[in-house]
Amino acid sequence: MDPFKRRQLGRTDVMLPQIGFGAAPLGELFTKVSDADAETTLKTAWDAGVRYYDTAPWYGRGQSEHRVGRFLYKQDRGELILSTKVGRILRAPIQKPDEFDTGFWSGGLHFDHYFDYSYDGVMRAYEDSLQRLGMNRIDTLVIHDLDWWHRGSEPMVQAGFAQLANGGFRALAELKAAGRIRAIGAGINELGLIPRFLELFDMDFFLLALRYTLGEQETLTEELPLCVERNVGIVIGGVFSSGLYATGPVPGAKYNYFEPTPEILEKARRIAEVCQRHNVPLPAAALQFPLHHPAVTSVIPGAFKPEQVTTNLDLVRMEIPADLWAELKHEGLIRADAPTP
């Protein structure tokens, strides 16, 4: 596959390359990353031809946006496609700022946050991101983490959707109409949310994380067919299931941010064995698999080292025989209805 072949994002005029750069690791998701390593990684990506970059205020509590912006603002703005997210507002800690706990992040900046999907919240998040990025516009803007995992309960999810319905989505539509963004998306981490968004809002695309990978394809049942029917684009995040399908079932490998169960490890082991029989690295199959679905526009693997960028691009360019996909289906390791060559 050509990593830089362009595909149209849903009904929009945005043409995304098949491979972009996911910048969550630059917010020190699992590993501390120096400013020098972040800069070198971004430069390696740019020099290799990567032109699509996805970040968010939540990634390292502002750190990823600062790092991405510090590098990209020096590049030709007309060449790049920049994506960030709304839904969280960063603010200084109210108590004991010198003892701040970064929590989920290995490092990052010492900012607290709160969720806000209202009109004012969306506009403030957008303007705050412009400042951190050093940019005066963003190409694609994503509603972030409006789900049960991050909000904690159905009433909190309902409250977020109510904020969007009562003004938050109007803010996004106004930004798009004014040419300040080019596409409106929503980040999806859980089943059941794509139909809910499509019922309420005129979505351009979804950033689907962890839910259409070699490890799981349940979104083939309802979510992805709906997107095909309505010509709504899909960008794939978490293509390696947060590690297991990059490294294989080795000690310490994570699956969707948690320790994998024995059943999940066994499935990954069997998939890796099929790949080995066809002389294909497991992460090559993981990167290319989602791109065969007609709704999928792009895949955005993360990186925090230069060699990760170049390796990902090499893996996308690798030829994978159709027999590999056929064997995975025959063994029941991927769904029979998953689009493959």
Contact 297, 235 (CB under 8 A): yes
Q: Which of 85, 116, 128, 255 is catalytic?
A: 85
Alpha helices, H only, the chain: 35-48, 63-72, 119-133, 148-151, 154-163, 169-177, 193-200, 223-230, 244-247, 262-277, 282-288, 306-317, 322-330
Whether 337 sits among the annotated catalytic residues: the reply is: no
Contact 269, 248 (CB under 8 A): yes
Q: Of how many residues is the chain composed?
A: 341
Q: Which of 59, 117, 212, 255 is catalytic?
A: 59
Give the integer Cα–Cα distance in Å for 163 and 172: 12
Question: Looking at residue 236, what DSSP letter applies?
Answer: E
Contact 187, 209 (CB under 8 A): yes
Q: Going by DSSP bridges, is the β-strand pair 52-54/81-86 parallel, antiparallel, or unpaired?
A: parallel
Which residue in this structure is represented by tokens 């792009």? 298
Whether 126 sits among the annotated catalytic residues: the reply is: no
Give the integer Cα–Cα distance in Å for 76 and 69: 12
Give the integer Cα–Cα distance in Å for 67 and 61: 12
Q: Which of 52, 53, 54, 128 is catalytic?
A: 54
Whether 76 sits among the annotated catalytic residues: the reply is: no
Catalytically active residues, by annotation: 54, 59, 85
